[in-house]
Amino acid sequence: MATEEKVYAVVPPTPGSEAYWEGANAGKLLLGHCKSCNKAFYYPRGACPMCLSTDVEMRPAKGTGTIYTYSVMRPAKPVYVIAYVTLDEGVSMMTNIVDCDPASVKIGQKVKVVFKPREDGSKIACFAPA
Amino acid sequence: MSTKGKAYIVGAYEHPTRKAPDKSLAQLHAEVAKGAIDDAGLTKDDIDGYFCAAGDTPGLGGNSFADYMGLRLKHIDTTDTGGSSYLLHVGHAAEAIAAGKCNIALITLAGRPRSEGVQTGTNPRMGNSSQPDLQYEFPYGPATANMYAMCAMRHMHQYGTTSEQLAWVKVAASHHAQYNPHAMLPKVVTVEEVVNSPMVSDPLHRLDCCVISDGGGALIVTKPEIAKTLKRPLVKVIGTGEAIKHQMGGRDLDLTFSAGRWSGKKAFDQAGVKHKDIKYASIYDSFTITVVMQLEDLGFCEVGQGGKFVSDGNLISGVGKLPFNTDGGGLCNNHPGNRGGMTKVIEAVRQLRGEAHPKVQVKNCDLALAHGTGGSLGTRHVGGTVIMERE
């Protein structure tokens, strides 16, 4: 078990992305959703990457998924596990796997969203074993 | 409009430096430009087209560098796709020449990450916060090494690729680097040494990663009428391709292949040649996994069989079926500016001219391929492929 926890960097939101970070801070993982072609996407953005419709909104994800791939970043202090998680909604996102021994992480493992602190005290979505 | 055979590479130069604390970035660009112009037997004033990548030519991508070098131009193109830029530039130069926009094109790359202390592979680099993906990725610590490591991890999971198979890529590169007096890492290594080197980002070890070096390179591309008046062997561009791969809003995530699947097909279709006829291949080797994936994507072996294909010295000149990166590649020789596309073209030109080191020169090398990707295989990238023929 990692003894020291990573504190996450804050990248300033861009116009339209504030709601994503407000959601994370309130414990909700939000996905982009296109109301025109009715598809979910990640990361959320102002234009649907399938059809370029700007009739888009953010909708909460269930917060559960499966590890598609990962890697343990050994030179980092603290060591962290970067990963892509495929959410049950069918879209994948880059994230970190936390609250477990990095050596125990496996492709195909079921995970659930947890929220970890950023440098300014707000929160960011990470995933822990389900 | 097919540009097949409408352009020749008549000048190629790789800067011998691997660490240049006392040279500016612009000085390095000028030195490689001079080297390639001299190699072609031309003069600076013959250049009327300039191709560079905005990422290694700060100051409105090329404006300042064309000014620094005193270039008088009819055509400028500062396409930047990362390390593959210079492969794309060869194709773009061929198109510009075929369209009559310029006659003699100069392509330059330079960089000095080693002198600047850039921890290229392990340090996540913060970009511009207007880059749309940045806020959703940067906080999680994406560095070059762990992005490619995630590709390797998935490739192993899906296809059974092993660390030992990846190590063979480095072993082959090191066999070539021993003959290159400028190589940063000229020592021959074994599979055991690679897999026993320190783990950087699972499953990639230190010796699965390329070097960080200063330096650069340049090319001169021109039309057939001019190429045939010069005293250099004729290296004809017969096929080029470029393609982008991303994740389509997280719906198309597949880290087991690269855009080379598409750029390679375009280049092969245009060239009208078969894989078995390619005598030499320069394959961008930012990491060992990069080579395995790209060889599959280009069609040199079946999907998922890249690990087996590179094993047992199959990439070693004089030993295997597909000699690759006979300068030692990015893994052992040089990775100027963290951008590997330029040196890939240069070594392919050396091979086609018969000017590679005699110990690694491929016999009767009349057909060669250079390929690379720019950006990250772990997120979004652009592949560029160039097929060249010795006339």
Domain ranges of chain B: 7-117+215-390
> Who among A39, A76, A86 is closest to B141 (CB)?
A76
Does the structure show a pLDDT above 60 at B181?
yes
Pick among B119, B135, B147 to test the A interface (most A CBs inside 10 A)? B135
Q: Assign 3-state DSSP to chain A and report helix, strand, coil percentages, each to 5.
A: 10, 40, 50
> What is the third-level CATH fold of B7-117+215-390?
Peroxisomal Thiolase; Chain A, domain 1 (3.40.47)
């951008």: which residue's tokens? B339
DSSP for residue B126: P
Q: Which helix (H) or strand (E) holds B78?
A: none
The number of folded domains in chain A is 1
Domain-located, residue A12:
no
Q: How confident is the model at residue B81 (pLDDT cuts 50, 70, 90)?
A: very high
Backbone phi, psi, residue B8, to 5°: -125, 145
Q: Which of A14, A40, A82 comes nearest B140 by C-beta?
A: A82
Which of helix, strand or coil describes residue B214? Answer: coil
Does B159 score more than 90 pLDDT? yes
Query: Does residue A3 form part of some domain?
Result: no
- Comparing alpha-carbon positions, the chain B residue that sits nearest to A45 is B132
Contacts A–B by Cβ distance under 8 A: 121
Report how far residue A45's alpha carbon sits from residue A52's, in angstroms, rounded to the nearest whole number.
Answer: 10
Q: Residue A89: inside a domain, yes or no?
A: yes
pLDDT at B13 over 90: yes
- Six-digit token string for B176: 């070539």
A2 touches chain B (CB under 8 A): no
Find out whether B314 and B188 touch, Cβ atoms under 8 Å. Answer: no
* CA–CA gap between residue B60 and residue B58 (Å, rounded): 6
Q: Is the CA virtual torsion A91, A96, A100, A106 positive or negative?
A: positive
Residue B181: how many other CB atoms lie within 10 Å: 7
Given an 8 Å threshold on Cβ–Cβ distance, is B249 in contact with A50?
A: yes
In tens, the pLDDT along B234-270 reads: 999 999 999 999 999 999 999 999 999 999 999 999 9
Tell me how close the Cα of B391 comes to any Cα of chain A, in angstroms: 45
Q: How far apart are CA B100 and CA B96, in angstroms?
A: 6
Angle at B334 between CA B230 and CA B116, to 5 degrees: 115
Contact present, B261 and B301 (Cβ < 8 Å): no
Overall average pLDDT of the B322-328 stretch: 98
Q: Does B251 touch chain A (CB under 8 A)?
A: yes
User: In the predicted model, is pLDDT for residue B125 greater than 80?
Assistant: no
In this structure, is residue A7 part of a structural domain? Answer: no
In the three-class reduction of DSSP (H, G, I as helix; E, B as strand; rest coil), residue B203 is classed as coil
What is the predicted pLDDT for the residue at A3?
55
**A115 shares contact with chain B (CB less than 8 Å):** no
Asked if A82 and B200 come within 8 Å (Cβ–Cβ), the reply is: no
The residue ranking higher by pLDDT, A1 or A120, is: A120
Least confident of B56-65, B279-288, B330-339: B56-65
Residue that the structure tokens 């690990």 belong to:
B307
pLDDT tens-digit readout, B347-362:
999 999 999 999 999 9
**pLDDT value at position A109?**
98
Q: Are B42 and B72 in contact (CB under 8 A)?
A: no
Q: What is the mean pLDDT of residues B174-194?
A: 98
pLDDT given for residue B56 in this prediction? 95
Q: What is the CB neighbour count within 10 angstroms for residue A1?
A: 7
Contact A14 B135 (CB under 8 A): yes
B267: helix, strand or coil: helix
Confidence of residue B338 (pLDDT cuts 50, 70, 90): very high
Q: What is the pLDDT of residue A2?
A: 47
Residue type for B323, please? Answer: P
Torsion, Cα of B111, B113, B115, B116 (10° steps): 120
Q: Would you say B76 and B92 are in contact if contact means Cβ atoms under 8 Å apart?
A: no
pLDDT at position A1 over 60: no
- Give chain B's mean pLDDT: 97
| Residue in A48, A74, A80 nearest the CB of B199 | A74
CATH number at residue A33: 2.40.50.840
| B117–A contact, CB cutoff 8 A | no
Alpha helices in B126-259 (DSSP H): 134-137, 144-159, 163-177, 191-195, 224-227
Q: Which residues between 40 and 59 in chain A have a beta carbon less than 8 angstroms from any beta carbon of chain B?
A: 40-43, 45, 48-50
Instruction: Give just the sign of the alpha carbon dihedral B181, B187, B189, B195.
Output: negative
Look-up of token digits 């072993």: B171
CB atoms within 10 A of CB B272: 11
Do A11 and B135 lie within an 8 Å CB cutoff?
Answer: yes
A8 falls within a domain: no
Structural domain boundaries, residue A103? 18-129
Question: B250 and A91 in contact by Cβ < 8 A?
Answer: yes
pLDDT in tens, A56-110: 999 999 999 999 999 999 999 999 999 999 999 999 999 999 999 999 999 999 9
- Tell me: pLDDT of B121 over 80: no
**Does residue A125 belong to any structural domain of this protein?**
yes
What's the rounded mean pLDDT across residues B288-295?
Answer: 98
Nearest 5°: the CA angle B108, B111, B114 is 155
**What pTM value is reported for the model?**
0.97
Q: Give the integer Cα–Cα distance in Å for B305 and B389.
A: 27
A93, B136: Cβ pair inside 8 Å? yes
Q: Which sign does the torsion angle of CA A26, A28, A29, A34 carry?
A: negative
The total of other beta-carbon atoms located within 10 Å of residue B51's CB is 27
Interchain proximity A41–B198, CB inside 8 Å = no
